[in-house]
Amino acid sequence: MLKLTRVTINKNKRGLLLRNGDFERVLQPGKHWLGSALDQLRVEVFALEQPAFTHGLTEYLLSQEPEVVAAEFVRVELSETQVGLRSENGVLVEILAPATRRLYWKGLVDVKVDVIDIAETVDVPVAVASRLTQTQLRQRAVTGLTGVLQVQVPEHSAGLLWVDGKIDRLLVPGTHTFWKFNRNVSVDLVDLRLQAVEVTGQEILTRDKVGLRLNLVATFRFTDVLSAYKHLSKPAEHLYRELQFGLRAAVGTRSLDELLENKTVIDEVVTAHVRSKLSAYGVELDSAGLKDIVLPGEMKTILAQVVEAEKSAEANVIRRREETAATRSLLNTAKVMEDNPTALRLKELETLERVAERIDKISVFGGLDSVLNGLVKLR
């Protein structure tokens, strides 16, 4: 017995008629009378506002129904080295990865796919990169951006472009966009300005077996970034190790007294050592300076005692020198008085004057001469 079923397809939709699970035809907008006896009919309706046709029959239609595909769909078949830029009504909405096979409904939405071959280059064309940048400001985001690497290289910096583990080239300041499909692409940003590195807490024995803790700071810059990263996996870490080696070379071959007397010798030795090691790698050491030297607690006590003893000895020397000068002055005065009675008399009068200043009342018997003679006898 024939059974009739009426199906209505709206103008903004399409219908997919399946008979016993197999594709039969595409139903256009309008009313359709479908007759079946023992067959099982099913109609799947698709809204054209969503043009992507995601269905299990996609591969069947692509391979077995070329006329249906040409009439109803926009066909996309990308090779392993092609990327598709899908636009809807002139607006970029998706980046299609290589080897993509899809169908999009024709009709309501104008779907267009621009195909770009990426076999020979990793760079995204400038026009495409500009469109990608503009789409970031729109409400609807572009899907598939995971296949694109966008990098902003700031001023005073350079970008090191790596492709499949190899250095490709150096990027100047600005915006750069690359395809990540079929490749491992990354960018390392390198600051070209003067940079600082600190070497702290380095415990080193001097030549006379005194343990010191030293802190050093150095400044450096890159003169050839490509050369630095081709020869060194991590230039900053290599510089740090060379600074450590330079410190050991400067401290381990000198005694504590030598280091304390001339602290700049450490800076000079470290600078000469590091510059000779890095000159061939595109890294320039601008300066290296010792921030401080930390002595062990017992060594601080010993040095304080040494300094105290040295200062005490210097004070004793000065004291003896002054006493010698005073004695020499007295001796010279005695010689002058011995040869000159008048000078001796004046000295006696001066002494009498100092004695008289401390006495309230003096009684003189026998005249002034007897007083002076008596004073001399008392001495």
What residue has token string 């004070």? 315
Q: Across residues 217-228, what is the average pLDDT? A: 92
Same domain, 279 and 359: no
On whether residue 265 sits in a domain, the answer given is yes
Same domain, 270 and 362: no
On whether residue 233 sits in a domain, the answer given is yes
On whether residue 259 sits in a domain, the answer given is yes
Looking at per-residue pLDDT, the higher value among 191 and 255 belongs to: 191
3-26 pLDDT tens trace? 788 889 899 999 998 988 888 899
Tokens coding 72: 């109803």
State which residues form the domain around 349: 340-378
pLDDT tier, 141 (very low <50, low <70, confident <90, very high otherwise): confident
178: how many CB neighbours lie within 10 A of its CB? 23
Does 330 score more than 60 pLDDT?
Answer: yes
Element (H, E) at 258: helix 256-261
Reading phi first (left if > 0) and then psi (alpha if -120 to 50, else beta), residue 340 is in beta
* Res 137: pLDDT: 56
* Res 100: pLDDT: 93
* Res 139: pLDDT: 60
β-bridge pairing 195-205 and 211-222: antiparallel
Same domain, 289 and 344: no
Cα separation, 251 vs 98, whole angstroms: 61
Q: Would you say 177 and 124 are in contact if contact means Cβ atoms under 8 Å apart?
A: yes
Composition of the chain by helix, strand, coil, percent to 5: 40, 35, 25
On whether residue 40 sits in a domain, the answer given is no
On whether residue 213 sits in a domain, the answer given is yes
Domain termination site, one of 295, 316, 331: 295
Looking at per-residue pLDDT, the higher value among 346 and 184 belongs to: 184
* pLDDT over 90, % of the chain: 42
* Res 372: pLDDT: 56
Cα separation, 277 vs 239, whole angstroms: 9
Q: What is the number of structural domains in the chain?
A: 2
Domain termination site, one of 295, 329, 358: 295
CB neighbour class for 299 (10 Å; exposed up to 12, middle 13-18, buried from 19):
middle
* Res 103: pLDDT: 94
78-107 pLDDT tens trace? 999 999 999 999 888 999 999 999 999 998
Cα separation, 17 vs 33, whole angstroms: 12
Same domain, 212 and 287: yes
Cα separation, 189 vs 178, whole angstroms: 15
Residues in the chain: 379
* Res 136: pLDDT: 57
pLDDT tier, 379 (very low <50, low <70, confident <90, very high otherwise): very low
Q: Across residues 372-378, what is the average pLDDT? A: 53
Whether the full predicted model's pTM is greater than 0.75, yes or no, is no
β-bridge pairing 52-53 and 91-96: unpaired
* pLDDT over 70, % of the chain: 82
What residue has token string 């100092």? 354
Does 335 score more than 80 pLDDT?
Answer: no
How many whole angstroms from its chain centre is CA 215?
20
Does 253 score more than 50 pLDDT?
Answer: yes
pLDDT tier, 118 (very low <50, low <70, confident <90, very high otherwise): very high
On whether residue 47 sits in a domain, the answer given is no
pLDDT tier, 305 (very low <50, low <70, confident <90, very high otherwise): low
Q: Across residues 161-171, what is the average pLDDT? A: 92
Beta bridge partners of 15: 27, 45
Query: Whole-number mean pLDDT of the chain?
Result: 84
Q: Across residues 326-354, what is the average pLDDT? A: 71
On whether residue 129 sits in a domain, the answer given is no
On whether residue 248 sits in a domain, the answer given is yes
Cα separation, 218 vs 274, whole angstroms: 10
Closest CA to 96 of 105, 86, 104, 88: 86
260-281 pLDDT tens trace? 778 788 888 999 999 988 888 8
Instruction: Say whether 170 sits in a helix, a strand or coil.
Output: strand
CATH number at residue 274: 3.30.479.30
Same domain, 287 and 355: no
Domain termination site, one of 239, 265, 295: 295
